[in-house]
Each structure stands twice: as C-alpha cells, then as structure tokens.
Amino acid sequence: MLVLLLAAALSVPLANAHLVPWSKGMYGFNGVTGSINYNTDDAVHPLYQLSKDQWWFHHYNNLDEFPPADGDFLELPAGESFTVEIASNRGETTLSFNGAYASDWPDGKTYPEDYNVDTCITSPNMHTQNQSRAAGTAFAIAYTSDIKSVTPENLAVFTVRYHTPWKRLTSYDVPADMPACPEGGCICAWGWVPNGCGQPNMYQVPYRCTVTGAKSTAPVGAPKPPVWCENNDGACTKGPKQMIYWNQAEGDNIEVDGYDANGDFKSPAYNAKCGFPDGAQNDIFTGEPASVKTSAPATTTTTTATATAKSSPSSASSDSSSASSDSSSTGVVATSSSASSKYPSASASAAPSCKTRKRRRTESAVRAHRRRSVHAF
C-alpha cells in the first residue's frame, strides 16, 4: 500500500519534468518548502527569459536558499571523475526510496539504447532527438563557500560531458590540477543549454562541492564569456570560461545569430561549438585568480588537510553520496534491477511539456522560440 501511494505520488511530476543531476550536495535536495520531499522536482524547472536575480542559481523558486545538509558535498576527486544521477525527479534516483523507482534512464523507465524520436524525445524531456544530438552539460566552480559571493566572473567551467543529458548515471572528469577548496567547501553549478528541440531555455543549479586529493595550488583563473567558434578554433575563448547564460531577459553573456554548420539555428552549448573540449577543462589554471569577495585563500597545508577531513564524514554519512565510488556502486545495483525489461515500458509518444509558467519574452526570443520549437510548450 505504501509503495502504491508512493508510485501514485511519483506519477504526477514525471510528466512535466526536465533534467538535473541529483546529489546530496545540491541546493534544493529536499525541495524548497523546508520539509523533506523525496519526490522533489523543484530543481529541474527550466530558466527562460527571466531577470538575472530570478535565473541566477535558480532563485525564482528560492532553490538557492535551501542549502544541502551540513557535511554534504558534491565531491570532486582531482584527476579522477565523479558520478551524478541525472533525473527529472529525486524520486527516480537512488537518493530516494532506496532506488526503487530508478532505472538506467532519467525517468525511471526503460528505452532502447538507440532511442531516437525525429520530432524530439519528450519522455523524458531531453530536448534532443537522440544521444548524438544531445547538446552537452557542464559543472563550474567558484572558490568560495559563500553562495552570495558567486558571480559570472568567478564561476569557471571545469568539466564538460558531450552528448548529455542522456542516461541517469553520468560521470564528469575533474582536472588533475584542481586546487583544494576553502574549509566550508566551494560553490559549484551544473549547466545545460539544450540544442533547441523545444523551448530554448537553460538550466543552472547550485551545489556545495569540495575537491578531494588536491595536489596543485595554482588557482583557477578568472573566467571569460564563451563565444561561438564552430569550425574556427582560433576564435574560441582561451583559458577559463564562464558558464553559458542565454535566452534570459537580462544577464546573457553570449549572442548568436544565423545558422550552424548543420543548417540549424545556432544554439550555444557546452561543446566544441563554443570552444569547450569534452572532459576536464585543463586550461583554467592561468592568469589572475578569480576575485571572490570573502574568504582569503588558505595555505596549502590547511586546505589539503581540510579537503581530506571533509571527505570522511561526508561519505561515512551516506551510502549514495556523490563521491564517484559510492555513486557507481549504488548505480550498479539500480542498473541490474532494471535491466530485465528490454523494450520501452512507456510510450515515447506521450507528450509531456514544460510546466506552463508566465514569463516575460522579448520579441526576438519569441521568434527564436517559434523557430526552434518542434512541439508546443
């Protein structure tokens, strides 16, 4: 009976959901009400044509005001990779209900390996026709523990995964030279700008993160805005880059016009078209460090000790924390339990859409929307 109730509760948000990586270290892990919502999808809603104070760190529903529990960090092992669970609802990850509703895919269902929908996959809402067309996603980091001190100018992209979001378990590579974070951790953010296929919106979700096993002390340089540089490497922004901020009412840091090499309208994303290589961004340790209003940089010895100390309580308190080893092992369990069904259990023709929300749109954005939208939102 309890299971039936939970399943019924889950079926409601699924239809509308988009995708973000879930981790105990994220803001809004328990939702945005103050009580624990094991089925929260507050973090997944897209950002589109919002004012800067509303879209920055998903403030429009106060996600940035619900920090993770003390001691919970998204752990970033220097020179290795970390795994997160991309899903449309926390209920579809191993972080709720012991993973009872988690599958290989981000919505708890099963699809063919070569899942392809010519008119765009909308179940789950991946904003792509297939894996090869998935735009790419990224994590960025700011070397401060104070989320209020983070700005576009000190939040640098440090890892990118091409052809995501796609499956639930997704790994990102950490540069070997990532320095340690201050005692209270760093602030990270996940970003996704889909390649059309629906409303041309963006995603930005904050995390409390920490670098483990740091060996280098060279700071991350101040990031500069990425630019469109498809098939023209010389034009790309070199060194540390800001996240992509696009199609908002204010605060955009990139403009594009016209068509890409495929003949589609240009859509900036975390891929080569904007100068982001796949994997660890190893060119970010250059130039002047990004200026952060608070926290003076700690010395080598204390920061190293801090990062080591932080990792133990965090992983001890969790069997499915964001550390790569923990997530991988829980992921294996979830994978094997859902591997029995070979064919889609759900109709891919279901037509979920973004939640209807009133938004201000500029004339050009509405035009871009009409050009890009394959299905109506």
Ligand X SMILES: *[C@@H]1O[C@H](CO)[C@@H](O)[C@H](O)[C@H]1NC(C)=O
Residues that bind ligand X (CB under 6 A): 116, 118, 129-130, 132-133
CB of 119 to ligand X, least distance (A): 9
Q: How far apart are CA 284 and CA 160, in angstroms?
A: 13
Q: How far apart are CA 17 and CA 42, in angstroms?
A: 9
Residue type at 318 in one-letter notation:
S
Nearest to 110 by CA among 295, 320, 342: 342
Cβ nearer to ligand X, comparing 262 with 291: 262
Cβ nearer to ligand X, comparing 193 with 290: 193
Cβ nearer to ligand X, comparing 24 with 161: 161
Cβ nearer to ligand X, comparing 197 with 274: 197
Q: Any residues with CB less than 8 A from the CB of 20 and at least 6 apart, and which?
A: 26, 43, 44, 86, 87, 190, 192, 203, 205
The tokens describing 104, both together, are 């290989």
Residue 237 is classified by DSSP as: P
Q: How far apart are CA 134 and CA 185, in angstroms?
A: 31
CB of 243 to ligand X, least distance (A): 26
Cβ nearer to ligand X, comparing 118 with 363: 118
Q: Which residue has the tokens 């299905």?
A: 375
CB of 369 to ligand X, least distance (A): 19
Nearest to 173 by CA among 161, 190, 191, 185: 161
Cβ nearer to ligand X, comparing 114 with 257: 114
Q: How far apart are CA 341 and CA 213, in angstroms?
A: 39
CB of 117 to ligand X, least distance (A): 9
> Which residues sit opposite 61 in a β-bridge?
none
CB of 195 to ligand X, least distance (A): 10
Q: For residue 189, with 0-12 CB atoms within 10 Å meaning exposed, 13-18 middle and 19 or more buried, which class applies?
A: buried
Cβ nearer to ligand X, comparing 7 with 348: 348
CB of 364 to ligand X, least distance (A): 25
CB of 244 to ligand X, least distance (A): 22
Q: DSSP for 1-56, please give it.
A: -HHHHHHHHHHHHHTT---EEE-TTBTTTT-SSSS--TT--TT---B-S--HHHHG
Q: Which residue has the tokens 């760190």?
A: 57
CB of 187 to ligand X, least distance (A): 35
Cβ nearer to ligand X, comparing 130 with 149: 130
